[in-house]
Amino acid sequence: MRARLPDPFSVDEQVLNDSTIREYADHSDTITSVYVRYLYFIDGLMTFMRKIGTEEGLNPKTFTLPIDWTQPIFNGSFYTSHTYPSTGILLMIIYLFPMIFSAFLILNDLRNKSLERSYVAGVKPFEVFIVIMIIMTALISLQVVVSMIVMYNLFDIPIDSSILQVFILLLLHGIEGVGTGLFFSLLLKDEIVIVGIVLPLLICSGVIWPSEAIPLFFRIFTDWTPITLPLESLRSLLFRRLTIESTRFHIKI
């Protein structure tokens, strides 16, 4: 390595081979592999190169990457490996619980003939809808508050924006889940089929991996899922300090 650094363009092939660092790594764990290769390994190599350059009386900046990591546009100091999926899982819980609960409620009443007896007694369908929405809105509000507390204290995900706007986004998203559940309860007569909708939403909505990684021709459909755009809005609120006025902010109701 000392023979290579002073004049790397004039050394022979033997010196180049002898000074090459070879990596024999286990890449079965993708996340660990990426962190080791691109964070610790490169950082350690640059530190080593600067040290060797200083000892040889050379300018240590000569042996660093020609990249200056300036102040980021959006703060990422708190971004960890669990930050990205945690926000998606939070939004999935806020959406799926009201959807499944409201669908099960209607299907159970239809199976027990409770709705028919209520209609015979003079209750109107709109009144049933209003009662369900009032009850579910109260439950969703409690769920959102508890979820935000758990997100902030347990998962260490700071809210880098307005807490009120985050609450409103999650609340409206939960209410949207109620509407979706009521809609599916009119079309589907089996709870298992309704629960089966969870898997396509989990795969296509950018919860596990970025939606940008989905092929472009398929994103025409995935962008219309009820979670994709609200999830982007939530991440913009939490990590980019954007507000409702931003063009990247979406609420699908």
The residue ranges of the chain whose pLDDT is under 70 are: 1-9, 25-38, 68-82, 245-253
Instruction: Report how far residue 37's alpha carbon sits from residue 43's, in angstroms, rounded to the nearest whole number.
Output: 9
Instruction: Please report whether residue 87 resides in a domain.
Output: yes
pLDDT score at 138: 92
Clarify whether residues 54 and 126 are in a common domain.
Answer: no
Instruction: Report how far residue 132's alpha carbon sits from residue 111's, in angstroms, rounded to the nearest whole number.
Output: 17
Instruction: Report how far residue 203's alpha carbon sits from residue 7's, in angstroms, rounded to the nearest whole number.
Output: 52
Clarify whether residues 59 and 182 are in a common domain.
Answer: no
Residue 243 · residue 161 · CB < 8 Å: yes
Q: How many CB atoms lie within 10 A of CB 38?
A: 10
Instruction: Please report whether residue 7 resides in a domain.
Output: no
Instruction: Please report whether residue 146 resides in a domain.
Output: yes
CB-hemisphere CA count at 13 Å for 182? 15
Clarify whether residues 110 and 206 are in a common domain.
Answer: yes
Clarify whether residues 90 and 31 are in a common domain.
Answer: no
Residue 228 domain boundaries:
83-239
Clarify whether residues 100 and 47 are in a common domain.
Answer: no
Instruction: Please report whether residue 200 resides in a domain.
Output: yes
pTM strictly above 0.75: no
Clarify whether residues 38 and 107 are in a common domain.
Answer: no
Clarify whether residues 45 and 110 are in a common domain.
Answer: no
Clarify whether residues 133 and 52 are in a common domain.
Answer: no
Instruction: Report how far residue 67's alpha carbon sits from residue 218's, in angstroms, rounded to the nearest whole number.
Output: 35
Instruction: Please report whether residue 68 resides in a domain.
Output: no
Residue 207 · residue 85 · CB < 8 Å: yes
Clarify whether residues 33 and 113 are in a common domain.
Answer: no
Tokens of 30: 């993708």
Clarify whether residues 153 and 230 are in a common domain.
Answer: yes
Instruction: Please report whether residue 250 resides in a domain.
Output: no
Instruction: Please report whether residue 252 resides in a domain.
Output: no
Alpha helix positions (H), the chain? 13-18, 30-35, 42-55, 83-111, 114-120, 125-153, 163-187, 191-195, 198-204, 216-222, 228-239
pLDDT score at 215: 79
Instruction: Please report whether residue 101 resides in a domain.
Output: yes
pLDDT score at 17: 78
Q: Which of 63, 93, 121 is the last residue of a domain?
A: 63
Q: What is the domain count for the chain?
A: 2
Tally the residues of the chain.
253
pLDDT score at 141: 93
Clarify whether residues 104 and 172 are in a common domain.
Answer: yes
Clarify whether residues 131 and 46 are in a common domain.
Answer: no
